[in-house]
Structure 1
Amino acid sequence: MPAAPLPVRDGLNPTRLRLPGDGAWPTVLDYLLARFPDDAARLRKKVDAAEVVAGDGAPVTPETPYRAHTFVFLYRDPPVESPVPFEVEILHRDEDLLVVDKPHFLASTPRGRHVTESALVRLRRDLDLPDLTPAHRLDRVTAGVLVFTVRPSARRDYQELFAQRRVAKEYEAIARFDPDLALPRTVRSRIVKPDGDLRCVEVPGDPNAETRIELIESRGGIGRYRLLPRTGKMHQLRVHLNGLGIPIIGDNFYPTLYDIAPDDYSNPLQLLARSVAFTDPRTGLPREFASRRRLTTWT
């Protein structure tokens, strides 16, 4: 993929479009108007302001001919979003890494209806770090330690660290206490996400997800659990605890899917990325970062 010839603006990357090979549009603008008919007026203004460019950085004009399989870059107008009323706390910053304590309800990166209200966009904008890139991700409803790379030269080293499972991750969760459930234990299962379904399920087959589960303490019918995932499948921790009959408190996906209003922050998922630890791939030194947050149900 070609590098974007437009810089990050207001914390957001430009949108990259690959012009399809089966089109009969005479110009690039005709294609854009056909693809985004509701944005016709804004697209014309962006073209007039030279804010739509080809892969080589040349501005697209109303007369620029359509060329199949080439790239076009432009800034799309982000959706109007209500601010998530929680701050991102900085745990560590150096020339290579930015480590933060992400709150519940804030997306890690732009996705779907959560674009400007994401940790990545906020931090790029507020800290003037346009090259900031996530080394890994947390679900929007999960709080805790989130690692970003600051410089492009450091990006690959730290992203591969997470991709190759060379990071020790510890999570904390609050869920029902079952005195008959033998812990600690290691859960191994195969987790898949069926097409068209928002939730993941465990199915027969070779395991692709592994979590060690330990009980830290219990009181009043609930338990505080330490979760040590060896893999990072989607919703893995939520699926594994639900499979044991102790779904995480505040989980609106497992065992039952139900809607929550976008501005309802009253019942956060009681799941926290407590810490990450690894050997720094650039210095060879051990590093560990821990969240300062506490899960509200327990406290």
Structure 2
Amino acid sequence: MLKFIKSYLNANEPSVKLFEGERKLVITGLFGVILSLGIASFIYFQGHLILPEGNMKDVFSFNAAIGIYILSIAAILPLARFGDRKRKVIRWLFISATLYSYAIETVQNFRGINPRFSSAGTNIDMVAGMLFGIVSLVLVALAIVLTIHFLRMKSPHERPLLLLGVRYAFTSVTVASIAGIWMILLQDRLTGDAGNIIVLHGIGFHALQTLILLAWFLEKTQAKWHYKKILLHSGSIAWILMILFIGIQTALGRSVFELTIIPILGSCLLFVWLGTVIMAVVLVIKQSRNDYSSPIDQPSFTE
């Protein structure tokens, strides 16, 4: 079955390929993932706490998250149609900001210092933490630039379903970026009695995988164009609404994991998104088994 699926997905290869020309970004993202695996080994043998403030679990989750984020950016950047110069500037801003983030998060926690909001560090540590905040704002600014650019792109586009998925994904990323600024202003990730902004921040950024993956599967099927758009819109809107519910619950200072109406509604929306992904995967598998030979229905995206 896997052989059939692989042969089909490689067929009718679009002219604009994911990750094309972004080897340096891919390496930067993979470095974060590999670094997080090394941190996981350290935690297994040495534990996660390093006095007075270090927490290696934070290092593991941060490096893994930003590594996956950069891999996602590397995947979609070829779709943006940037000129060579602008694309190079954006690429190196991402790489520079990411490498500093890896370094400050890892080194400071190994020293037992909170890299963002330290109360035990020296003046140099405070300056490094302030610079970390500035670098975080650079990453937020880059996300906003990409969001505006993708929303303003006009048809025709070689991969309209994927472009639509990217637009939805960056809507979620915008909410996640606002959550990041919220943490910077608050100088903490906790709010109210049990609210944790980092949950909103992290899940919001994962739209760059969840929604783009849905669009990618759908563009590989020969289902009717209208049906594919309905599935993509349904799954993406469900995801965005889930993010908004998480944001409301967090703003109320309450945990998103408690069994109350807002988290329950958010969970239902998550299952709606998951259902659309499962349907898209089933379509791909069914199509590979039947060995369809007709070209993929892929009209240009229009508003």
TM range (shorter): under 0.3
Q: Which has the higher helix share?
A: 2
- Larger relative contact order, structure 1 or 2 (CA cutoff 8 Å, min sep 6): 2
Q: State TM-score, norm by structure 2.
A: 0.28
Mark the structure with the bigger radius of gyration.
1
Q: State TM-score, norm by structure 1.
A: 0.28
